[in-house]
């Protein structure tokens, strides 16, 4: 060891006072801001700006091709006295409530079913996802045909079975039209609910069910006391998203009914599009869109409180 | 409390048989430990006893009732799971009272029994906590509390201590044993840890590859293992095995690898030249001038004893001494097994040969 010659140490660089630029270079928050910038730019450009612009437009009388003037709440005053606007709110609430509730029920049922051991499980799970991967407009067109007044396969089948003598006017009758669009929305939305709840179910340890079975729980009690309480956090997330998506639905309705017949299936989103783009009244359309904000905020608030970590989920704190 | 009879029980998963006819009588109030390496079928057997797995053939009876087709909840058993399986969304009190609640017991009754169990297990201050707020040992006790509240005929434990750290495991071992002495409930306890089996059991059942290798009291198994598997499984450090032949001309001796000669108390009849396995426990070696020469490889002092790894006739053996010796790796010592404590096994079948 001793006879290894050590290379002469290089002269140390002289110490100098750290400039404020040096300090900034080593500041983690400064670096963090740079990393966040691209994402923030995206959010501002594609979310904050359109939202702000939409709200601003709702306070103007902008039309397509003409810069508007600030008119304060005039658009909203108009809408207040507009029966179709109120009808669209009613439709949207009805549509959202019924579709979400049924999607939840069917989705939960499917999730429980797919969580059981059965043959072809993987294939069945994949099949459940099919409605989800078909483009919305495509499935809407399919439903359009299924519910067509002349060529509907349902009417045809029922007629041949001798159950009805005349075609059902699915999309021409107000009640039927509502039923049809809600049905189509459920068909599209169930996979999301089912697969997400299934993922939640799979996080429940099987030994809990075994313990409960030994404790004397029936299958229903297993669900009521084990599955359901452990699933509530995921249910809250899924249903929040489901409600938001359903409330703001546009494609399905527009492709199937364009809001008809007699505005029976006009949702706020479709009405807004019709007034703003088709009719060119950008200000009024923006006001209808902006009117959705309080409803969506309310839905988010509900889920916000629903999503609060329950006491049993909290960490090791001893209080 | 009641006895449990397991008679010629078999279990197949598809075409694959994991239990090949197991018969275990368990007396009322006995603490029976099923022990064996993983995959030996001990947990499957316990789950069959609990009713979580079907019985392919044979019978299991609790008391004088055959329970093959009885629902788990009707079997009057309580089980403690390896991961405790505590309901995360229920407080300790609710966890413990859950089975009573399902039985529609009154609130007062539930309260009384949960309180009693909590007192036994020193859980009273924790009753309002959630499982996440408990330490491993506390969760373990809650899992036992859940079993005690039921006041069942039989307690089943499925490797309940394997998720605890070493120190806590020793403490809980004593606690479970003490609990059994107090409640005197028939207990079936599954573990892969032979120390747990030795320290807790009234009766140990050693299982291997779906059969019972031997059952008996801990000391019976330690003193007279019926075969090489049990001999190697019970005891720590494990028994040393040396392959060789018996020489019974004149003084009975064992001739091991590379001509090593080791003493025998007596040779099995008509056994000159018979290939055997010579088994000697590490603690049954002494240092004596007429012992076999051994070269020390590693010395591991633990304070109370010293483990010495050495080569005898080219084979590694381990010896344990209570006395303190100054050994260094490479030292030559002479090891002599106590002939009266030596075990002989048939080389082919592994069966015990000496009485």
Quick: pLDDT tens for B155-209: 999 998 888 888 888 988 998 999 899 989 999 999 999 999 999 999 999 999 9
What mean pLDDT do residues B139-156 have?
A: 90
Cβ within 8 Å of B, A 203-262: 205, 207-208, 210-217, 221, 225-226, 229-230
What's the CATH number where A198 sits? 1.10.3720.10
The pLDDT score that the predictor gives to residue A316 is 45
Q: What pLDDT score does A190 carry? A: 92
Question: Is there a contact between B138 and A265 (Cβ–Cβ < 8 Å)?
Answer: no
Decide: B193 and B9 in contact? Cβ < 8 Å: no
Candidate from B72, B132, B146 with C-beta closest to A213: B72
In a domain, A319, yes or no: no
Contact yes or no for B32/B201 (Cβ under 8 A): yes
Q: Is residue A20 part of a domain?
A: no
- Percentages helix, strand, coil for chain A, rounded to the nearest 5? 70, 0, 30
Residues of B in CB contact (< 8 Å) with A are 50-52, 72-73, 77-79, 81-83, 85, 87-90, 98-99, 102-103, 129-133, 146, 150
**For residues B319 and B336, what is the distance between their CA atoms, to the nearest angstrom?**
10
- Alpha carbon distances (Å) from A65 to A196, A276, A278, A281: 45, 12, 13, 10
In a domain, A303, yes or no: yes
How far apart are the C-alpha atoms of A92 and A270, rounded to whole Å? Answer: 10
pLDDT for the residue numbered A319 = 38
Residue B131 has pLDDT above 50, yes or no: yes
- The full DSSP string for B86-113 is --TTS-HHHHHHHHHHHTT--HHHHHHH
Q: Is B179 exposed, middle or buried (0-12, 13-18, 19+ CB in 10 A)?
A: buried
Residues of A in contact with B82 (CB under 8 A): 207
Whether A170 maps to a domain, the answer reads yes
Closest-CA residue to B81 (of B135, B143, B8, B18): B143
Extract the tokens encoding B39: 């995959």
**pLDDT, tens digit, 9 for 90 and up, residues A246-280:** 999 998 899 888 887 888 899 999 999 999 899 88
Alpha-carbon distance B317 to B299, whole Å? 12
Q: Report the domain count for chain A.
A: 1
Task: Count other C-beta atoms under 10 Å from residue B85's C-beta.
Answer: 25
Which structural domain range is residue A263 located in? Answer: 83-313
Residue B14, classed as helix, strand or coil, is coil
Residue A179 lies in a domain: yes
- Considering the domain boundaries, does residue A65 fall inside one? no
pLDDT of residue A305: 79
- Beta-carbon contacts of B114 under 8 Å, excluding residues fewer than 6 positions away, are B93, B96, B97, B100, B127, B145, B149
Q: In this model, does residue B100 exceed pLDDT 80? A: yes
Is A105 inside any structural domain?
yes
B33-43: pLDDT as tens digits: 999 998 899 99
Structure tokens belonging to residue B23? 């018969």
- Whether B270 and B311 have beta carbons less than 8 Å apart is answered as no
Q: Is the pLDDT of residue B333 over 60?
A: yes
- Residue at A21 is within a domain: no
Is pLDDT of A167 > 70?
A: yes
């Amino acid at each position: 060891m001793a006879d290894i010659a050590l290379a002469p140490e290089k002269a140390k660089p002289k110490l100098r006072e750290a400039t404020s630029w040096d300090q900034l270079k080593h500041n983690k928050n400064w670096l963090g801001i740079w990393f966040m910038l691209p994402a923030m730019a995206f959010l501002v450009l594609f979310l904050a700006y359109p939202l702000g612009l939409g709200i601003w437009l709702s306070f103007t009388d902008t039309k397509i091709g003409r810069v508007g003037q600030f008119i304060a709440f005039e658009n909203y005053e108009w809408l207040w006295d507009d029966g179709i606007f109120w009808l669209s709110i009613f439709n949207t609430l009805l549509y959202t409530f019924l579709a979400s509730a049924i999607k939840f029920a069917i989705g939960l049922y499917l999730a429980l079913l797919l969580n059981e051991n059965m043959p072809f499980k993987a294939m069945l799970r994949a099949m459940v996802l099919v409605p989800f991967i078909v483009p919305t407009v495509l499935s809407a067109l399919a439903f359009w045909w299924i519910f067509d007044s002349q060529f509907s396969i349902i009417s045809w089948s029922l007629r041949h079975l001798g159950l009805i003598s005349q075609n059902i006017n699915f999309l021409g009758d107000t009640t039927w039209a509502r039923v049809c669009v809600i049905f189509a929305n459920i068909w599209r939305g169930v996979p999301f609910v089912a697969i997400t709840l299934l993922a939640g179910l799979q996080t429940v340890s099987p030994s809990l069910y075994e313990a409960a079975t030994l404790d004397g729980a029936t299958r229903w009690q297993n669900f009521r006391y084990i599955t359901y309480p452990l699933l509530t956090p995921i249910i809250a997330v899924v249903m929040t998203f489901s409600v938001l998506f359903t409330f703001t639905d546009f494609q399905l309705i527009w492709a199937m009914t364009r809001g008809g017949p007699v505005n029976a299936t006009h949702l706020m989103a479709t009405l807004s599009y019709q007034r703003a783009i088709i009719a060119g009244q950008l200000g009024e359309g923006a006001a209808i869109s902006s009117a959705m904000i309080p409803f969506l905020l309310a839905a988010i608030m509900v889920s916000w409180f629903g999503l609060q970590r329950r006491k049993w989920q909290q960490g090791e704190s001893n209080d | 409390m009641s006895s449990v009879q397991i008679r010629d029980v078999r279990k197949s998963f598809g075409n694959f048989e994991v239990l090949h006819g197991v018969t275990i009588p368990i007396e009322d109030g006995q603490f029976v430990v099923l022990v064996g390496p993983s995959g030996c079928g001990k947990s499957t057997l316990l789950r069959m006893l609990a009713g979580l797995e079907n019985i392919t053939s044979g019978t299991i009876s609790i008391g004088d009732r055959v329970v093959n087709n009885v629902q788990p909840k009707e079997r009057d058993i309580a089980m403690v799971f390896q991961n405790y399986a505590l309901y995360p969304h229920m407080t300790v009190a609710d966890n413990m009272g859950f089975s009573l609640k399902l039985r529609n017991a009154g609130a007062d009754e539930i309260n009384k029994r949960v309180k009693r169990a909590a007192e036994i297990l020193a859980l009273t201050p924790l009753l309002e906590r959630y499982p996440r707020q408990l330490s491993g040992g506390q969760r373990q006790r809650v899992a036992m509390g859940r079993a005690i509240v039921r006041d069942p005929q039989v307690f089943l434990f499925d490797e309940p201590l394997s998720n605890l750290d070493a120190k806590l495991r020793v403490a809980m071992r004593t606690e479970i044993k003490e609990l059994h002495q107090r409640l005197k409930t028939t207990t079936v306890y599954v573990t892969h840890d032979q120390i747990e089996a030795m320290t807790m059991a009234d009766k140990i059942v050693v299982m291997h590859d779906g059969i019972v290798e031997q059952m008996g009291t801990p000391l019976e198994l330690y003193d007279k293992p019926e075969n090489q598997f049990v001999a190697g499984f019970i005891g720590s450090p494990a028994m040393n095995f040396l392959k060789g032949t018996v020489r019974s001309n004149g003084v009975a001796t064992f001739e091991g690898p590379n001509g090593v000669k080791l003493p025998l108390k007596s040779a099995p009849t008509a056994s000159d030249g018979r290939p055997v396995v010579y088994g000697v426990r590490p603690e049954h070696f002494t240092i004596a001038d007429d012992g076999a020469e051994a070269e020390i490889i590693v010395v591991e002092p633990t304070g109370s004893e010293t483990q010495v790894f050495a080569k005898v006739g080219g084979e590694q053996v381990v010896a344990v001494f209570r006395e303190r010796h100054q050994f260094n790796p490479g030292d030559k010592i002479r090891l002599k097994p106590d002939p009266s404590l030596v075990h002989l096994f048939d080389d082919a079948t592994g069966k015990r040969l000496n009485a």
